[in-house]
Amino acid sequence: MTRLGVFICHCGKNIARTVNIEALREKAATLPHVVLAKDYLYLCSKPGQTMIADDIREHRLDKVLIAACSPRLHGKTFAQTAQRAGLNPYLLDMANIREHCSWVHIDGAEGTEKAFSIIKGGLGRLLYAEPLEPFQSPVTKRVLVIGGGVAGIQATLDIANSGYEVYLVEKSPSLGGHMAQLGETFPTLDCSSCILTPKMVEVSQNEHVHLLSYSEVTRIEGNIGQFQVTVRLRPRYVDETLCTGCGDCVPTCPVVVSNEFDQGLGARKAVYLPFPQAVPAVYTIDWDACLNTDKLIICENCYKDCEAKAINFLMEPQEKMVEVGAVVLATGYELMPVARIGEYGGDEYEDVIDGLQFERMLSASGPTGGVVRRPSDGRIPQNVVFVQCAGSRDPEHGIPYCSKVCCMYTAKHALLYKHAVPDGQVYVFYIDIRAAGKGHEEFVQKVMSEERILYLRGKVSKIFKSGAKLVVWGADTLSGRQVEIEADLVVLAMAVIPSSGSQKLARTLHIASDLSGFFSEAHPKLRPLESNTDGIFLAGAAQFAKDITDTVSQATGAAGKALSLLANDFIKLEPTISEVEEGICRGCGLCVSICPFGAVKMLPSTRTGAMVAGINPILCKGCGLCTAGCLSGAVTLKGSSFKQIFAQLEEMV
Amino acid sequence: MPPVKRKLFNLDQYQVPRGKVQIISERCKGCSLCLEYCPNKVLAWSTDYNFKGYRYPVLEETEEKYCISCRFCEEVCPDFAIYVTTEPELTAKPQSTQRK
């Protein structure tokens, strides 16, 4: 005879507000097999857990149902409670009467009735629950970091300096990301590359770091502790081990194209180093621009001039297999293209630029050598209009969120321009100033009051060309007037969006992303550094728009998370995975094609030798797709067997 | 890469090699390989004929299209009828080159 215990949580008023706990407890106590029904204000609190553990021992409970919140929130908490009381944690189940009931009901009577039916279903399911034991899996003591911006660099250094090997994969030819493009950083006006380049060099010199630049992750398999990663190394047509970085290949290269690193404002050759401080300091041939093709070698100028004989036009893409225990995702952001906002010229006007292009002009190593110039005629602009929230907080253009950094960097841009051109006039259009950070508000106030910069509260409706000048139409909502400004240069603080490859990467890694395309964290408050796949951690602007300070903090946090995983030799994996009954399986192979994780393979049966499905317990995530898809019902999902599901349904309806 | 075709600020800091195409018209048999493969398309057909009776390539350079001294015409010519001498200095002002 099974002895069941039911514990009902008030969750403060979260559940008790809608559900009549007293009536629920009395009704639950009358259900078959129930020997104990109790309620408590906060079951997850220490006294609540102690009460459960004591009752399990005292009343010799075989199985326990906790009617409270979602198992996603406290499933682990109560499983540990059961374990402490000597009960197999898989004989404790949760009935979600908060998210599934009290939060979505207003009427008390209906809510209570539904809570009772959820509890009844939970008990039905619990009756057929069987004890399960977690199994152990070894942890590979290496980490993969994807993205070589400041987030990836920081995470890599933190992990490598703890003595673990790191593979750092960067898509572009050099480390540095967007931070390397910046001139000075707010609010202290530190030189961006001066604080970043030493870290880049440190990465390249650390013996624990394997830097894979000009590379992309194309495939990832496995589970927490054991990921098998395939990295595709794009050919740079220059041998990394031979190139000395002397630059002798550049002068005779006949092809000049615009430099992505300068946001299209500056030039580079087809054989190039994106910027002088690039790491690795190895030249790359841009095969799209080079005169040579895979079939035809037309120009050999660089080959002839390279004394180190590092240039190899026959280089082919390579695939590298890497085994790691954890992954840190730091793929960063990009700016929404100006072309997406038609009323601001939609990228038709040369003198309407975005924040990063202005940043390149401010940078001493930029295409203008740190002088602000009009892209159309190269003259120094006298009237500059900055437009904040260009795309951000604008659901019509598809970006409902605040990009978080624009208020600060626009204030910095205005200040730096004003210092360079003291008699120039600066106008800043803003909706609200959001300067919530250490020293941020003080910085903006200083810019507003001391620098004679006109802040106009309102949106810009239209930008159009009139002769050599641009006309900006906007509203000043504080004075209630329409404003028309003749500008030489307009700088749009474009919305921060996830970097372009991130959706593809999310699919490769089987992790979720939100509506805007940023990677989803496991819990917005309590697990902001983890993705919803165990062992994959998030750092930097790939999770959401953030400034350098927050990015570095998060990167260090993600590194810490990865390190605490690597501190274990083995990790316990959930036993709630699929299992095949070999005698029933007819070997159709349908489950092999259904499984999104590649965990099912056809293998000869140990008894009959016939081909049957076999499940790799490390790869199986327990999603249940094969269980539902199997035509002969040969696959069982442990912890959610057919018996359990049907018992739950029968009790509920 | 932003889609606007902007003038590049520091273009004048970039120089490309400048070659001078030398054509030995009598050797040419008009196979057109050099015209076909010249990456900057600086060659055109002559209006008159050589003594064998073939049209031969002539140089037709403009501000934007000039010989960049890749010497591929030398390589492909089956009759050794064309070669390039490189100017010692890199003088040409480059145009922003379109990608393939």
Query: Regarding predicted confidence, which is higher, A1 or A430?
Result: A430
CA distance A651 to A649: 5
Chain A residues with CB inside 8 Å of B16's CB? 252-256
Please identify which residue in the block is written with the tokens 């360079």: A420
* Averaged pLDDT, A378-385: 95
Q: Name chain B contacts of A254, Cβ cutoff 8 Å.
A: 16-17, 39-40, 68-70
Q: Measure in Å the smallest separation between the Cα of B14 and chain A Cα atoms.
A: 8
Find chain B residues with C-beta within 8 A of A373's C-beta. Answer: 9
Task: For residue A258, list chain B residues with Cβ-Cβ distance below 8 A.
Answer: 1, 6, 8, 96
Identity of the residue in A269, A339, A368 whose CB atom sits nearest the CB atom of B9: A368
Question: What confidence tier does A608 reach under pLDDT thresholds 50, 70, 90?
Answer: confident
Residues 6+ apart with CB under 8 A from A253: A269, A270, A271, A301, A302, B16
CB A589 within 8 A of CB A554: no
Query: A33-74: per-residue pLDDT in tens?
Result: 999 999 999 999 999 999 999 999 999 999 999 999 999 899
Identify the residue among B1, B5, B7, B9 best suited for mutation to test binding to A, counting A beta carbons within 10 A and taking the highest.
B9
Q: pLDDT of A451-472, one tens digit each? A: 889 999 999 999 999 999 999 9
pLDDT tens sequence across B9-35 = 888 888 888 888 999 999 999 999 999
Closest residue, chain B, to A268 (C-alpha): B14
Distance from CA of B51 to the nearest CA of A (A): 30
Contact A254 B69 (CB under 8 A): yes
The topology (CATH level 3) of A142-332+501-566 is: FAD/NAD(P)-binding domain (3.50.50)
pLDDT band at A570 (very low <50, low <70, confident <90, very high): very high
* Of the partner residues A257, A262, A298, the one whose CB lies closest to the CB of residue B99: A257
Please determine, for residue A430, whether its predicted confidence score (pLDDT) is greater than 50. Answer: yes
Any chain B CB within 8 A of the CB of A338? Answer: yes
Q: Which residues, in sequence order, are CB contacts of A168 under 8 Å at separation 6+?
A: A145, A148, A152, A153, A156, A175, A203, A209, A210, A211, A212
What is the secondary structure of A455-497 as a DSSP string? EEES-EEEEEEETTEEEEEEEETTTTEEEEEEESEEEEEEPEE
> What is the band of B93 on the pLDDT scale with cuts at 50, 70, 90?
low
Using the beta-carbon criterion (under 8 Å), do B9 and A301 form an inter-chain contact? no
Please state the domain extents for chain B. 17-86
The proportion of chain A whose per-residue pLDDT surpasses 90, expressed as a percent, equals: 86
Q: Does domain A333-497 have CATH number 3.50.50.60?
A: yes
Let me know: does A236 contact A284? Beta carbons within 8 Å: yes
Task: Identify the pLDDT of residue B17.
Answer: 86
Distances (CA, A) of A218 to A22, A52, A108, A480: 56, 48, 52, 54
Tokens 């049209």 — which residue?
B55
Residue A142 contacts B where some CB pair is shorter than 8 Å: no
Between A221 and A154, the more confident residue is: A154
Closest CA to A292 of A254, A240, A344: A254
Tell me whether residues B97 and A337 touch, CB distance under 8 A: no
- pLDDT digits over A598-607, tens only? 889 999 988 8
Are B9 and A265 an interchain contact pair (Cβ–Cβ within 8 Å)? yes
What's phi and psi for A104, nearest 5 deg?
-110, 0
Yes or no: say if A358 and A372 are a contact pair by the CB < 8 Å rule: yes
Residue of B nearest to A368 (CA): B9
Contact B16 A253 (CB under 8 A): yes
Does the beta-carbon distance from B97 to A255 stay under 8 Å? yes
- Strands (DSSP E) contained in A140-225 are 142-146, 165-169, 184-185, 190-191, 209-212, 215-223
- Confidence category of residue A347, pLDDT binned at 50, 70, 90: confident
The pLDDT tens digits of the residues spanning A231-278 come to 999 999 999 999 999 999 998 898 889 999 999 999 999 999 999 999
Give the residue extent of every domain in chain A: 4-127, 142-332+501-566, 333-497, 577-637
And the tokens for A349? 């006007």
Spatial distance between the Cα atoms of A76 and A42, rounded to a whole number of angstroms: 16
Calpha distance A122→A119 (Å, rounded): 5
Region A281-286: what's the mean pLDDT? 95
- A207 pLDDT band, cuts 50/70/90, is very high
- Return d(Cα A646, Cα B27) in angstroms, integer: 91
CA distances to A83, A329, A618 from A140, in Å: 28, 18, 13
Confidence of residue B3 (pLDDT cuts 50, 70, 90): very low
φ, ψ for residue A568 (rounded to 5)?
-95, 145
> With an 8 Å Cβ cutoff, are B1 and A260 in contact?
yes
A309-313, A389-393, A592-596: least confident range:
A592-596
Predicted pLDDT of residue B63: 77
Of B2, B68, B69, the CB nearest to A264: B2
A269 in contact with B, Cβ within 8 Å: yes
At A346 the pLDDT is: 79
Least Cα separation, residue A263 to chain B (angstroms) = 7
Token code pair at residue A551: 């990015």
A356 contacts chain B (CB < 8 A): no
What number of other Cβ atoms are within 10 A of residue A577's Cβ? 23
Give one DSSP letter per residue of A602-648, joined into a string.
EEE-TTT--EEEEE-TTT-----HHHHH-TT--EEETTS-HHHHHHH
Portion of chain A with pLDDT greater than 70, in percent? 100
Angle of helix A406-420 relative to helix A440-450, nearest 10 degrees, comes to 40
Best probe of the B interface among A256, A335, A347, by most B CBs < 10 A, is: A256
Q: How many CA atoms lie within 13 Å of A157's alpha carbon, on the beta-carbon side?
A: 19
CATH number at A4-127: 3.40.50
Whether B99 sits inside 8 A of A288 (CB atoms) is: yes
A357 contacts in B (CB within 8 Å)?
A: 2
> For the domain with range B17-86, which CATH number is right: 3.30.70.20, 3.90.700.10, 3.40.50.300, 3.40.605.10?
3.30.70.20
Fold match, A4-127 / A577-637: no
Percent helix, percent strand, percent coil in chain B, to nearest 5 = 15, 20, 65
State whether B1 and A267 contact (CB < 8 Å): no
Considering only alpha carbons, which residue of chain B is nearest residue A302?
Answer: B70
Q: Cα distance from B47 to chain A (closest Cα, Å)?
A: 27
Tell me the two tokens of residue A201: 């060099």
Is B4's pLDDT higher than 60?
no
Residue B92 has what pLDDT? Answer: 60
- Helix, coil or strand: residue A271: strand
CB contact under 8 A, A264 and B7: no
Q: Which of A172, A249, A257, A258 would you mutate first to test chain B, the one with the most B CBs within 10 A? A: A258
Residues of A within 8 A of B2 (CB-CB) are 263-264, 337-338, 347, 354, 357
Contact yes or no for A254 and B8 at CB 8 A: no
For residue B59, how many other CB atoms are within 10 A of its CB? 13
Mutate one of B4, B75, B95, B98 to test the A interface: name it (highest A CB count within 10 A).
B4
User: Which of A352-361, A522-531, B43-52, B86-95 is predicted with the least confidence, judged by mean pLDDT?
Assistant: B86-95
Q: Is the pLDDT of residue A156 over 90?
A: yes
What's residue A70's pLDDT? 94
Q: Which CATH number fits domain A577-637: 3.40.30.10, 3.30.43.10, 3.30.70.141, 3.30.70.20?
A: 3.30.70.20
Q: Count Cα atoms within 13 angstroms, Cβ side, for B1.
A: 12
> Chains A, B: CB contacts under 8 A, how many?
104
Contact at CB, B97 and A256, closer than 8 angstroms: yes
- How far lies A117's CA from each of A90, A151, A157, B43, in Å? 22, 48, 53, 86
What is the value of ipTM here, to two decimals?
Answer: 0.87
Shortest Cα distance, chain A CAs vs residue B50, angstroms: 28
The CA distance from A368 to the nearest CA of chain B, in Å, is 6
Q: Which long-range contacts (CB under 8 A, 24 or more apart) does A443-449 make?
A: A443/A186, A443/A187, A443/A408, A443/A411, A443/A412, A444/A407, A444/A408, A444/A411, A447/A411, A447/A412, A447/A414, A447/A415, A448/A411
Partner-chain contact A367 B10, CB within 8 Å:
yes
Q: Once rounded to an integer, what is the mean pLDDT over residues B37-62?
A: 92
- Among chain B residues, the shortest Cα distance to A292 is held by B39
| Predicted local confidence at residue B1, as pLDDT | 39
Residues 6+ apart with CB under 8 A from B82: B21, B22, B23, B24, B28, B34, B57, B73, B74
Best residue in B1, B5, B8 for a mutation probing chain A (most A CBs within 10 Å): B8
**At CB < 8 Å, which residues of chain B contact A?**
1-4, 6-11, 13-17, 37, 39-40, 68-72, 90, 94-97, 99-100
d(CA A314, nearest CA chain B) in Å: 18
Terminal CA-CA length for chain A = 25
Mean per-residue pLDDT of chain A: 93
